[in-house]
Amino acid sequence: MFLIEQLTNLAVPYSVLLIAMAITVFKPKYWFFAMLTTLILGYLYQTIQLIGMVYLGVAFAVSFWQQKSSGVLQHVLRFIIIVFCIALAIHQIPGFNNLPVIVNSQKGPLSMPFTLYLNWDKPFILFLLLGLFPTLFERLNPQLPAWLKQKTAQSLLFLFIPVVIFGLAMAANLITWELRLPNWWWLFALNNLILTCVVEEVFFRGFILKSLTEKAPAVLALLISSILFGAAHFAGGADYMLVATCAGALYGLVYLISGQLRYAIFAHFSINFIHLAFFTYPMLNHTL
């Protein structure tokens, strides 16, 4: 079911949220203004309640406090914000109205029913991480092994890993071919690109992978961050976690080689959109 009326009612705050996040990705120095505008519109349109604003206010206060701190206190404050971000991601912070706009809709006869929420809590992870690390979107310049600097090796990896991702998913019977786009594909594209791919790439590549490259070799940092990305998809089962780990490796490679977080975001979105367009989404319906 495609809830057009509900989507229409949310058109203004949802549009502002998408624009604010896009501005933040391309012009990070304006992130606070973009976030504040989103917060005000969210409150006016009741997608964010007062208690949610209070929680966010405290979180941002802690985030700015840690910038002026050092030593053990700074690490403790950063840990608090990271835990808060995880709580936002799993929708455990009260005060946010995450409303469904697609409910139990099937992409096609072979696909599982799909529900899409306009999440208003998860996007604030982007702004909180920028509060923690103002250099989040600055170019990454890791020390890559010689073989990974070669254009041939890079091209082969970028071609091979997507084949592995979808090959493993099909071998595990998670997906099968289903070439069609549902009538809600455009809403999926907007929501997935801005609210899913941006937030997940900022957290797993911009924060985790970038932090690890400062302490470990790039390949080891890539491996650890990819495994953590796979583990975050535990709800889908072991096979799904393996596929997600491979996907995380692809996005991480794009980030390491390009040095630009926005390219990792685009790679993530590309894989997700290929999944939607060519395969059963979100997974194969095993009840048939």
Q: What DSSP assignment string belongs to the chain? A: -B-HHHHHHTHHHHHHHHHHHHHHHH-GGGHHHHHHHHHHHHHHTTSB-HHHHHHHHHHHHHHHHHHT--HHHHHHHHHHHHHHHHHHHTT-SSSB--EEEEEEE-SSTTBPPEEEEE-SSTTHHHHHHHHH-TTTTSPP-----GGGGSHHHHHHHHHHHHHHHHHHHHHTTS--B-----TTHHHHHHIIIIIIIHHHHIIIIIIIIHHHHTTS-HHHHHHHHHHHHHHTTGGG-HHHHHHHHHHHHHHHHHHHHH--HHHHHHHHHHHHHHHHHHB-SSSB-TT-
The single residue listed with the structure tokens 């941006």 is 198
* 42-68 pLDDT tens trace: 999 999 999 999 999 999 999 999 988
How many structural domains are present in the chain? 1
Average pLDDT over every residue of 157-180: 96
Residue 2 has a pLDDT of 55
Average pLDDT over every residue of 204-231: 96
Residue 287 has a pLDDT of 78
Categorize the per-residue pLDDT at 281 as very low, low, confident or very high, splitting at 50, 70 and 90.
Answer: very high
Average pLDDT over every residue of 93-122: 93
Share of the chain above pLDDT 70, in %: 97
Cα→Cα distances 68→29, 72, 109, 134, 286, Å: 19, 12, 55, 13, 53
| Domain-embedded: residue 113 | yes
**The pLDDT of residue 99 is above 60:** yes
| Domain-embedded: residue 286 | no
| Domain-embedded: residue 285 | no
Categorize the per-residue pLDDT at 199 as very low, low, confident or very high, splitting at 50, 70 and 90.
Answer: very high
Residue 100 has a pLDDT of 87
| Domain-embedded: residue 283 | no
265 vs 5 pLDDT, higher one: 265
Residue 3 has a pLDDT of 61
| Domain-embedded: residue 48 | yes
Residue 1 has a pLDDT of 59
- Mean per-residue pLDDT over the chain, rounded: 93
**The pLDDT of residue 4 is above 70:** no
For 92, list phi and psi in degrees, rounded to 5: -105, 0
| Domain-embedded: residue 12 | yes
DSSP string, 190-238: HIIIIIIIHHHHIIIIIIIIHHHHTTS-HHHHHHHHHHHHHHTTGGG-H
Provide the whole-model pTM.
0.94
| Domain-embedded: residue 288 | no
Residue 50 has a pLDDT of 96
| Domain-embedded: residue 287 | no
Lowest-confidence segment of 3-12, 54-63, 133-142 by average pLDDT: 3-12
Residue 288 has a pLDDT of 61
Residue 110 has a pLDDT of 97
Categorize the per-residue pLDDT at 146 as very low, low, confident or very high, splitting at 50, 70 and 90.
Answer: very high
Residue 91 lies in domain: 4-278
Share of the chain above pLDDT 90, in %: 88
* 221-270 pLDDT tens trace: 999 999 999 999 999 999 999 999 999 999 999 999 999 999 999 999 99
Report whether 7 contacts 183 (CB < 8 A): no
Residue 259 has a pLDDT of 95
Residues 6 or more apart whose Cβ sits within 8 Å of residue 281: 107, 111, 112, 114, 175, 178, 275
For 102, list phi and psi in degrees, rounded to 5: -130, 125
The whole-angstrom separation of Cα 211 and Cα 213 is 6
Average pLDDT over every residue of 173-202: 95
